[in-house]
Amino acid sequence: MTVGALFDEAAGGYDEARRRLVPGLDELYAALLEGLPFKKEEPIKVLDLGAGTGLLSAEISGRFPRARVTLVDLSVEMLRVARRRFAREPHRFEFRVMDFARKDLPAGYDLVASALSIHHLTDGDKRETFEKVHGALVPGGLFVNLDQVLGASPEEEAGYEEWWLRRVREAGASEEELAGAFRRMRADRNATLADQLRWLEEAGFEGVGCARGDHRFAVYGGRKGIASSYNGKERHG
Ligand SMILES: C[S@@+](CC[C@H](N)C(=O)[O-])C[C@H]1O[C@@H](n2cnc3c(N)ncnc32)[C@H](O)[C@@H]1O
């Protein structure tokens, strides 16, 4: 099954299950938002890669009320939910059904953000995507990715697996939700945080860093053309 088909199938119950399936999601979103250097009233242009039902776009557009957001996803059904979410403000949101690993990205963005999507790409496609994201940003623009990472050793990876399963069961995920998550996880292509930070630097990003790491999940990114650290150094697990 393709990634698009997997998420077409998941779109209906996606928002409802999200918090149960991503332990610490609120803290991860908070770390991402806190690292954004824009003033509240700035009319920033934002590109959300793998935007799905629009959860991350909602957080960003809520924090920056004049932001205009382009939501990109290859799942028609996930974007259908996103269109409904933002239907009251059509002038602020644009939707594009496309595979961001295969197509050129639109350009001129102050912020390219992504959540839980890039880990579906092969390592080669991740590296190419980082280069394309660099090209899509204006000078001084920021890229931030909230995503899954691979453990740096088999032991660390096994620890991430054990931690995730324990936390999602504690959160009350149903057997059906877990079965759906396991089906989607077969399409995961996680890479280590260290590799991805290096690929960002190789793609030309500056101030590359990780704002928050919590076992399987991390918030990391870099800036185009400004030599300052992306964010703090918080890391758990
Ligand atoms: C786990 S969902 C995350 C959605 C949203 N960003 C969030 O945080 O809730 C991953 C999304 O990435 C999309 N996706 C994965 N690979 C993609 C690609 N190459 N191009 C476009 N969308 C992609 C999937 O269709 C899915 O909607």
What CATH number does domain 3-236 carry, 3.40.50.150, 3.90.1150.10, 1.20.58.410, 3.30.413.10? 3.40.50.150
Q: What is the pLDDT of residue 231?
A: 56
Q: Is 99 in the pocket of ligand 1 (CB under 6 A)?
A: yes
The kind and range of the H/E element at 131 are: helix 123-136
Ligand 1 proximity of 3 Cβ (cutoff 6 Å) = yes
pLDDT of residue 236: 53
What does the alpha-carbon distance between residue 34 and residue 44 come to, in Å, rounded to a whole number? Answer: 16
Predicted local confidence at residue 98, as pLDDT: 97
Q: CB neighbours (10 Å) of residue 236? A: 11
C-alpha 137/C-alpha 110 separation (Å) is 6
Distance CA 7, CA 12 (A): 9
Q: Is residue 200 lining ligand 1, measured as CB closer than 6 Å?
A: no
Compute, in angstroms, the gap from residue 100 CA to the centroid of ligand 1: 10
Cα 170 to ligand 1 centroid, rounded to whole Å: 25
At residue 26, the pLDDT reads 93
**The predicted structure's pLDDT at residue 233:** 46
End-to-end CA distance of the chain: 33
Nearest CA to ligand 1 atom 13: 50
- 46 phi and psi angles, rounded to 5 deg: -125, 135
**Alpha carbon of 4 to ligand 1 centroid (Å):** 8
Q: Which residues pair with 146 in a beta bridge?
A: 115, 219
Q: Is the CB of 209 under 6 A from ligand 1?
A: no
Tokens of 216: 């399987």
- pLDDT attached to residue 43: 98
Query: Crossing angle for the helix pair 14-21 and 25-34, nearest 10 degrees?
Result: 90
Distance from the alpha carbon of residue 128 to the mean position of ligand 1, in angstroms: 17
Judge contact between 113 and 133, C-beta under 8 A. Answer: no
Q: What is the pLDDT along the chain (237 residues), one digit of tens a residue?
A: 788 888 888 787 788 888 889 999 999 999 999 999 999 999 999 999 999 999 999 999 999 999 999 999 999 999 999 999 999 999 999 999 999 999 999 999 999 999 999 999 999 999 999 999 999 999 999 999 999 999 999 999 999 999 999 999 999 999 988 998 898 899 999 999 999 999 999 999 999 999 999 999 999 999 999 644 565 444 455
Q: Domain ranges in the chain? A: 3-236
Which residue, judged by its Cα, is nearest atom 26 of ligand 1? Answer: 52
Distance from residue 142's CA to the centre of ligand 1 (Å): 20
Residue 144 tokens read as 């931030």
Residue nearest to atom 1 of ligand 1 (CA): 116
C-beta of 217 in contact with ligand 1 (< 6 A): no
What tokens were used for 118?
């890039």
Closest protein CA for atom 9 of ligand 1: 55
73 lines ligand 1 (CB under 6 A): yes
Query: Which ligand 1 atom sits closest to the C-alpha of 7?
Result: 25
Which has the closest alpha carbon to 217: 154, 158, 145?
145
CA quadruple 42, 139, 118, 171: dihedral positive or negative?
A: negative
